[in-house]
Chain A
């Protein structure tokens, strides 16, 4: 029996599995080491993300999230709901606060849910994977399975927005959260704590619709990492990861910069520290190769 069990809301990350770049792969490997059992919420649906606001109404957006909570409570009773995608987590948690705090909204949501033969009667809380690691395990516990040293690598921790605001991780500040640095240090890596763009927004979904404005944000994020002498950026957010990795070449092309800064997930560096292979850590799916980490992962 697994040490800890959670109802898993895969969201974006599982979709990304199809595209081979992988948060999901490394989360699975990391959870295996930590004896965490994640069970997908059966037949889960998309949370709507922040950007859907002009398409879906308030009630529609609450209802699609309530469907997931209801399925989780029905099939995986008592298990906390865990998301790895910042946007999923935020949207789900926001919807849950709304529906739990407003009886009229709850009644309306249930009237709609009835069409899908479901009835929401409350559910376990919606949590971020990082919260689970820090609160249910703690840095000392996370350190125990470490078998490989990451001491040669300098990591700039890029927390981004939605993992950090408005909810964030309990006990951390919004302007300068330290948990990512502490995670890096727990794994034996060098955390560049003076990196000053850790909570800068990359533009989020507007990277698609307002590319120039977003690329200015991304440029700040990458430049500051170079200024600190970083070998790579590390982030908990799938959208941050994609935006910062994908658009560097565009910025180079348009602005003559020579950016080539790898960006990885916390779960990838943890998987490597735990002895996982390049494949298990999903390190074979990058556009900008995190060479130093790949080399350590490849070492026997």
Chain B
């Protein structure tokens, strides 16, 4: 099964862009919680809330403004949304109660579906790897294969044994060749088949429904 999303949205990238003149409408239709964007009153509170603040090309407030200004490419190709740590600082502070975290994830993942997300964006790669690992078990565990010697008993003893390996491991992770999530062991429910069928169905439902809701 392909853990990556291939819903009806793909067609949007290829087909002439019917939404080009109204990016806000497009976001409302395709981005998770996108219907909230118009509620933003540009107060700027969220812009000062992100832990990786200085590294955001456009803080959330600016992204909402750009969406309304129709700056489709600037938004979707930016790596700003990929700086979100899911800390929920913004969400608890926003006077308009926008689900900002979800919208950031939603825009990032929409950009990813359209193939517009920056290449080699490490968080994008990690996110996809994580989902794959989360939903797909019973395949080769690269982490254990690669550094099995050091990490065979798990994270803590592995690091005790081979502290010098850590920078190397981190390098590999950044390069997308190693999945740190597998350090935690990996669990496998018995009903693998049921889960796979269920997720396949979920994707089919979304493809069928797009772009009606999101």
Residues of B within 8 A of A52 (CB): 127, 130-131, 134
Inter-chain CA distance A112–B157, complex, in Å, is 40
- Given A20-B154, A64-B135, A115-B200, A208–B86 Cβ distance below 8 Å? no
- Given A18-B185, A115-B194, A287-B160, A50–B122 Cβ distance below 8 Å? no
Nearest-neighbor residue (CB-CB) of B166 within chain A = A250
Inter-chain CA distance A277–B191, complex, in Å, is 37
Chain B 182-214, CB-CB to A under 8 Å as 1, else 0, gives 011111011100110111111101100100011
Q: Does B87 contact A (CB under 8 A)?
A: yes
Inter-chain CA distance A54–B3, complex, in Å, is 10
Inter-chain CA distance A18–B156, complex, in Å, is 10
Chain B contact-residue range equals 35 or more
Inter-chain CA distance A211–B173, complex, in Å, is 10
Q: Does B91 contact A (CB under 8 A)?
A: yes
B51 contacts A217, C-beta separation under 8 Å:
yes
| Interface hit among A129-137, A143-151, A160-168, A266-274 | A160-168
A117 contacts B194, C-beta separation under 8 Å:
yes
A162 contacts B88, C-beta separation under 8 Å:
yes
Q: Is the interface of B mostly helix, strand, loop or mixed?
A: helix
Q: Does A39 contact B (CB under 8 A)?
A: no
Q: Is the interface of A mostly helix, strand, loop or mixed?
A: helix
Q: Which of A19, A57, A64 contacts B155 (CB 8 A)?
A: A19
Residues of B within 8 A of A55 (CB): 3-5, 127-132, 134-135
Chain A contact-residue range equals 35 or more
Inter-chain CA distance A204–B84, complex, in Å, is 10
Q: Does A279 contact B (CB under 8 A)?
A: no
Residues of B within 8 A of A208 (CB): 126, 170, 173, 180
B198 contacts A112, C-beta separation under 8 Å:
yes
7 A-B pairs with the lowest CB-CB distances in the bound complex, closest first: A55-B131, A19-B154, A116-B194, A165-B88, A18-B185, A50-B86, A53-B105
Chain B residues close to A by CB (< 8 Å): 3-5, 7, 32, 51-52, 55, 83, 85-89, 91-93, 101, 105-106, 108-109, 112, 117, 122-132, 134-135, 153-160, 163, 166-167, 170, 173-174, 180, 183-187, 189-191, 194-195, 197-203, 205-206, 209, 213-214
